[in-house]
Amino acid sequence: MTVNKIDNGALEFHTPEGVFLGFPTGISTRRFSSADTVAIRKSEGLIINGTGEISSWPIERFIEFEGDMTALGPWLDESKPFEKKTLTPERISRLLPAIGLLKTAGFPLNGLYSKAVRWLSDGGVLIYPPKLITWMVELNQDSRMWTHPDRKGENGWSFSLGVLAWQALTCSDPFAGETDEERRERIRLGILPPLESLTPGVEQNAEAFIRKALIGPEETIPNLEDWKVFLKLWLHEGIVSALPETELQERKVQARNKAEGIEKKLRNRRWFRKSGWKLLISVAVIAGILAFASAPIRKALEAPVTAGMPPMEVAETYYRAIDNMDSEVMDDCLAKKIGNDDIRLITTVYVTTKMRQGYEGIGDAPKASEWIKSGKPELPEGVWPWGITDLTLNKLNDNRIEARYLFWTPPEGGTESGTSAWSVSRIDILHFTQGRKSWEISGIQRTMEE
């Protein structure tokens, strides 16, 4: 038996039974011993030749080579690796029949894996057995170059096609990162440079289409039919226009500045995640100390904003202050040592937001009431609606008021959580006493409503 290394890890095996095409799985012999090789061998690969005809590519056997298990299948003359330097819109379009077949057959793939495809000499394509590739991807991070860490099904395939289209236009990875973790972070945050910074003159509609495939919200991700239309347009009309030299240079500068801003935001985010919380805690502690120290002096010198208000109006003022993140007005509504948890939360969220504005460039947290009124538009990653909605106040006996409302706030896990919006239904029973200058909330009994 002789072995020749071909390219991109593929192998040519000569045995007495004939010649085989082999590809290393990257799985050790010891680990491979636990695999269901019968099921894997039943998951045959697919060949779609240059005329669109479909046939199977079965695994004949597995052998050990250089410490890893290698899968062997029928030899294919002059097959080539699927590399970004060979990508063209025509080649990408040839993948669509294979993807459609895999989707129809229910193969367990959520995108195109970089080591799972080879070009054939007649212009067709070979896709290695999906069940084996799925297992390889679980164990080998470097097989995920064209896949999204979270998307499933057709949305995952659309992401892969978006990566291939980007690479065909730029010969670069849209989410290049030094490590797999950094690459996944870029994907999940949608950290994507302007395509025009790499391919000046690309049509705006084409760039928008590719960006939707890569970082768009679920409802805007192109499906396979959309890709057929897009690739047909690319092949027949083109998506990159020639520009006058002056305009070309202007666009390059604009796109480069935008790309640098994106990279700066990402660097600041990483710094803030690693070190910023220490500074945040210090600022919050100082702010708390100053507020605590100044409160007695202020209260001694001026009347509270609630002076002359009946309990119902004090209650309204208190919840309006929470909505406005106004801890001073909240303090005016409360008796001493009451509501500290509410004020502490307001201070933490306010300081956190302002710190992240400086380091990451995020905007203010939108008021939940305004966000809902505008149709709940998608918010940037790490930004949540804040405040109180659906507030109803009912007067009870013995100077008590019942408050029912929805409270919108960052979920547990803080700014790193992936949740887009989170609210909890609360019921507060407010107890009131008449202080020296005004009615005050002297007790809050809070429950969460299912």
Name the β-bridge partners of 389. Answer: 406
Predicted pLDDT at 420:
46
In-domain check, residue 31: yes
Predicted pLDDT at 375:
85
Predicted pLDDT at 178:
62
Predicted pLDDT at 416:
42
The confidence band for 450, taking pLDDT boundaries of 50, 70 and 90, is low
The confidence band for 30, taking pLDDT boundaries of 50, 70 and 90, is confident
Predicted pLDDT at 164:
92
Report helix, strand or coil for 428: strand
| DSSP state for residue 435 in the 8-state scheme | -
Between 160 and 138, name the one with better pLDDT: 160
Q: Return the beta strands (E) in 232-365 as ranges.
A: none
**Mean of pLDDT over the chain:** 78
The confidence band for 288, taking pLDDT boundaries of 50, 70 and 90, is low
In-domain check, residue 52: yes
Calculate the alpha carbon distances from 124 to 6, 77, 118 in Å.
19, 12, 9
* Nearest CA among 280, 272, 168 for reference residue 213: 168
In-domain check, residue 408: yes
Mean pLDDT value of segment 260-274: 57
In-domain check, residue 106: no
In-domain check, residue 54: yes
Number of domains, the chain: 2
The confidence band for 289, taking pLDDT boundaries of 50, 70 and 90, is low
Final residue of a structural domain among 124, 146, 176: 124
CATH of the domain at 280: 3.10.450.50
Predicted pLDDT at 413:
40
Mean pLDDT value of segment 132-146: 68
Amino acid letter at 333?
C
Q: 395: phi > 0 → left, psi -120 to 50 → alpha, else beta; which?
A: beta
In-domain check, residue 33: yes
pLDDT tens-digit series, residues 89-134: 888 888 888 788 777 766 667 788 777 788 888 878 888 887 777 7
CB atoms within 10 A of CB 194: 19
Global pTM? Answer: 0.57
Does 344 score more than 70 pLDDT? yes
Mean pLDDT value of segment 300-318: 82
Final residue of a structural domain among 99, 124, 149: 124
* Nearest CA among 12, 26, 48, 43 for reference residue 115: 26
The confidence band for 279, taking pLDDT boundaries of 50, 70 and 90, is low
The confidence band for 442, taking pLDDT boundaries of 50, 70 and 90, is very high
Distance CA 238, CA 203 (A): 9
**What tokens does 185 get?**
């972070």
Domain of residue 360: give its range. Answer: 267-448
Predicted pLDDT at 187:
84
Cα dihedral: 64, 69, 75, 78 (round 10): -110
Between 243 and 194, name the one with better pLDDT: 194
Distance CA 30, CA 239 (A): 49
Predicted pLDDT at 274:
55
Distance CA 131, CA 139 (A): 13
pLDDT tens-digit series, residues 59-76: 888 888 887 788 889 998
In-domain check, residue 302: yes
Please provide the size of the chain in residues. Answer: 450
Does 282 score more than 70 pLDDT? no
Between 232 and 114, name the one with better pLDDT: 232
Does 394 score more than 90 pLDDT? yes
The confidence band for 256, taking pLDDT boundaries of 50, 70 and 90, is low
Q: 197, 252 in Cβ contact below 8 A?
A: yes
Give 230: exposed, middle or buried? Use CB within 10 Å, 0-12, 13-18, 19+: buried
Predicted pLDDT at 255:
63
In-domain check, residue 16: yes
